[in-house]
Chains A and B, each alone.
Chain A
């Protein structure tokens, strides 16, 4: 469905092979700095991590502007806060915790007198049933390689949202700004394979797939984020900041999610 808005440039390139691109110099006005918070908690025993930073001028050569000295805490609704420790500039960790599915969690980040809060619901894990690979011959500018589908059984009695993350040889595959989030609107209660139609992997890759079960706020955040990060083709007409679940104008998101992972070496898997 995301491909829909890129149809015009796709048709065009297909027919005319004539379009051209070039890097240009642009003057962008700066803006007041805004706070960016990336907070995630999972259903495993791994530590929770919250990243706090500020925005930078667009063409600045440095990429991160970490914020130190913020007070970061997590709590259950109506519960006592547990405070995070800053382990590196802008990186706040909380160890020895275990979050359970089925509850609302709240994150509070206090910095320079303002408290930014967000809440997220952790859904039960939806396990990966199996992975299937198919070879794609490539078409024009779409590369050739293996497409992967991740099969799972969508619970029919609730609204579910998913995110797929791909790691190749340990590194997250993030190119072209594609974000794979799905809602169960058309697939409620079905056993179905989720996957990106244009993301391909090579035979020799060690692929790890992570199927996250997220809540609606995280789904809204990532789908609106993809509108502005998936810039391989034409940009959207009115780009806007993604819908954040943080209060007081903080950019970023808080997602409490459960996940299942599967790691395969592709050439072994397809020869089975």
Chain B
């Protein structure tokens, strides 16, 4: 019924706005990098002296249908030289553009009127795009360039902090971000507790974070989507790139399998923090293990003119093992097989088969006697169509189904062990969706995006399903057989956006999303340990629902030399999850009884000023935000700030080319402290001083600020070989930022209590060496 209505509305809108007075033809093709053959996403194709323009998709495919005529076609993309070619459009044509990266010689030339104006013209709102070239000189922790960590320097995105995995977008929780690597969901995107992301920058082509409008092809997480695409592999020649750093190294190898037809890319990274352990005085320390590794693989084949096959995979693991004490390891495996098919010059299709697995294992005594583990595994089938109907309308529609299998925890005791094995039954569910959207240029100034996604979640047997009363007591357990559909939840999710162009330099944009989230991350610690539990929605645990409205003013100045924007948003969150005191989240088949439910709301304003061209580039970002929660069973039902509530957040990033061979970059971040719970009194129990807590999140951590500086020195640069040194300093003025504050009895005088602040880092200098065989 809902589906029928949508189709009718769509058809009416299309009929009323389509103008078909003249013979029209379609210009289509792919846009790629001339030296590697890699597809370029997001390039803009515009027809000179007209208002016609189009954007290519993430596979480099574009399609534009315009009246028969002679035109001058311009293609623009940041970091590449513009291309302008004349065409005579008297029949549909396929033109593939090969773009040349901007060379150093041209960088100092301020090419006016040729700069990208996407900030003002695109319908995207609240979207952030990054590629490794842009962030090459930005210093991050230990000299490791990390695309994801650098994205967190933009307004609206807050890092969960040093030593913490994940990030918060516009007041949402850590699990409300959908992280995709070549369309495969990544459930834990951190290594070594958040100091590094699992995404090796050498293997990545680009990444886009969507925090405003979330288009209909994405769903399942309430606050944002981080869509990361791997490099495909150079189609023309072999390349080897390596990076040797103080704490980790990576090596990548890419090249053609058959020139211009197929290619591959392999990239591996490993830390050697455990090398330092080998120098330790005691044997158990020397035998301990501490490392992580990542392996990215991709290969692609141009089967024929209209078919392209991509296969990508990722494998990564963290391992920490203290001999005879305990150990744990965690990591992800993903695999994606995709087929791009162009039916004709206007209809593009992408079919994907996706696999993702995240698991962790804890060795409680460090001797492989008893292993406790948990995992989440997804199989996903997706079919997506883009129909470039005419120059004013681009339709997208498709369907998606994910089979989730979650094993919340099992204990595997070795035979002869003193402990018994314990298995908690896996939970299975199907997350399915149907979507359709249209991106329509209503008039010269007004561009509208409208669409909806029907998102459904079904719990499936075999398994036990539990019913609880209001106090969390188990009333009933029902057992279901294989494939039995137990309960379906979800509904329609409208997504809307508009862009009103005031003039060539400025525009106003607005967006609205309604999103269901069916899988939830239960985590009770300050920093996400890998023992966090993923829980599917059920009878007792309703899906989270997010409604977000945002409005923004976008302005470019000095002929697109500067981009600026102001965005304000309001987000309403329903069915938020928190825990009863002392909740037992792990290895608990009735973990749902430990949960309490409530609501949240967040609002804020984000300011951004960016300079993308010239010797000095960078940005200045400021966010003012507030995010609150309210649960009847917590804090006596009074609203309290969420842990991630951060009133002020400032980031300043600057990159300056001192010369052709020397670049310097610096970042300065500042944010007011997270909300935290401190005691309001004390008493004694069994000789111990105990804190008395009356207010949840009633206090703030001290302000956090830090300066990082990096210097890149390009040593050698020739047609076949490149090398550079990178020197960086993390926390340049050595500020002791609080990691946590704890309360304890004074060691010398147990009658005295004191507050102790622990910080992780003082100043950390580092050096790394990069080489590339071309």
Contact = CB atoms under 8 A, between A and B. Distances in A.
A272 interface: no
Given A55-B692, A59-B753, A174-B688, A5 B284 contact: no
Contact of B758 (A21, A137, A253): A21
Contacts of A15: 192, 273, 276, 290
Interface stretch (A94-102, A108-116, A219-227): A219-227
Given A7-B328, A19-B759, A61 B752 contact: yes
Given A28-B679, A61-B751, A34 B692 contact: yes
A234 B193 contact: no
A4 interface: yes
Contacts of B531: 4
A62 B288 CA distance: 45
B205 interface: no
B633 to A, nearest CB: 11
A14 B290 contact: yes
A11 B263 CA distance: 39
B685 A36 contact: yes
A224 B758 contact: no
A127 B690 CA distance: 31
B526 A12 contact: no
Contacts of A235: 526, 740-743
Interface centre among B581, B696, B751, B759 (most CB of A within 10 A): B581
Given A140-B285, A231-B742, A192 B685 contact: no
A23 B680 contact: no
B758 A19 contact: yes
B686 interface: yes
Contact of A236 (B326, B364, B524): B524
A74 B145 CA distance: 66
B55 interface: no
Interface string A236-272: 1111111100000001110000000000000000000
A34 B679 CA distance: 13
Interface string B608-643: 000000000000000000000000000000000001
A5 B683 contact: no
Nearest to A15: B273
Interface in A105-137: 137
Interface stretch (A80-88, A182-190, A200-208): A182-190
Interface stretch (B415-423, B568-576, B645-653): B415-423
Given A64-B684, A174-B687, A22 B736 contact: yes
B684 A53 contact: yes
B582 A28 contact: no
Nearest to B413: A186
Contacts of A89: none
B681 interface: yes
B692 A4 contact: no
Contact of A7 (B283, B288, B320, B692): B320
A75 interface: no
A137 B287 CA distance: 14
Contact of A14 (B277, B418, B691, B740): B277
A26 B681 CA distance: 13
Contact of A174 (B362, B686, B736, B741): B686
A137 B524 contact: no
A228 interface: yes
Contact of A137 (B282, B411, B688, B753): B282
A186 B422 CA distance: 7
B275 to A, nearest CB: 11
A45 interface: no
A268 B69 CA distance: 103
Contact of A20 (B578, B681, B759): B759
Interface in B137-157: none
A222 B755 CA distance: 23
A86 B681 CA distance: 25
A161 to B, nearest CB: 13
B757 interface: yes
B685 A38 contact: yes
A238 B696 contact: yes
- Residue of A1, A14, A232, A252 with highest tally of chain B CB at under 10 A: A14
A134 to B, nearest CB: 10
Interface in B726-771: 736, 739-744, 751-762, 764
A197 B364 CA distance: 11
Contact of B756 (A21, A142, A236): A21
B254 to A, nearest CB: 31
B581 A29 contact: no
A170 interface: no
Contact of B683 (A25, A56, A59, A223): A56
A238 B755 contact: no
Given A11-B193, A12-B163, A58 B681 contact: yes
Contacts of A174: 686-688
Contacts of B290: 11, 14-15
A189 to B, nearest CB: 9
B510 to A, nearest CB: 36
B282 A188 contact: no
A229 B761 CA distance: 26
Contacts of B273: 15
Nearest to B689: A63
B343 to A, nearest CB: 51
B743 A231 contact: yes
B494 to A, nearest CB: 35
Contacts of A29: 680, 698
Contacts of A30: 680-681
B401 interface: no
A138 interface: yes
Interface string A162-179: 000000000010100100
A15 B688 CA distance: 32
Interface in B299-332: 320, 322, 325-326, 328
Nearest to A174: B687
Contacts of B691: 58, 228, 239
Given A14-B290, A26-B678, A137-B284, A187 B322 contact: no
Contact of A188 (B280, B325, B420, B758): B420
B508 to A, nearest CB: 40
A36 to B, nearest CB: 4
Given A138-B282, A235-B740, A236-B526, A241 B756 contact: no
B417 to A, nearest CB: 10
A239 B677 contact: yes
A8 B529 contact: yes
A60 interface: yes
B760 A251 contact: no
Given A137-B282, A187-B419, A237 B756 contact: no
Contacts of B693: 228, 239-241
Contacts of B685: 36, 38, 225, 252-253
A192 B751 contact: no
Contacts of A4: 362, 529, 531
A58 B688 contact: no
B525 interface: yes
Contacts of A232: 744
Given A14-B277, A63-B684, A234-B758, 17 more contacts: A5-B525, A18-B762, A19-B761, A21-B757, A23-B756, A26-B678, A28-B679, A31-B680, A36-B684, A58-B692, A137-B282, A137-B284, A140-B280, A140-B285, A186-B419, A237-B643, A242-B581
18 contacts: A5-B524, A8-B529, A18-B760, A20-B758, A22-B757, A36-B685, A61-B752, A63-B684, A139-B325, A140-B285, A172-B687, A174-B688, A224-B582, A231-B743, A238-B524, A239-B693, A240-B582, A251-B683
What 5 pairs between A and B have smallest CB-CB spacing? A224-B582, A55-B681, A31-B680, A240-B581, A237-B526
Interface of A: 1, 3-5, 7-9, 11-12, 14-16, 18-26, 28-31, 33-34, 36, 38, 53-65, 137-140, 142, 172, 174, 177, 185-188, 190, 192-193, 197, 220, 223-225, 227-229, 231-232, 234-243, 251-253
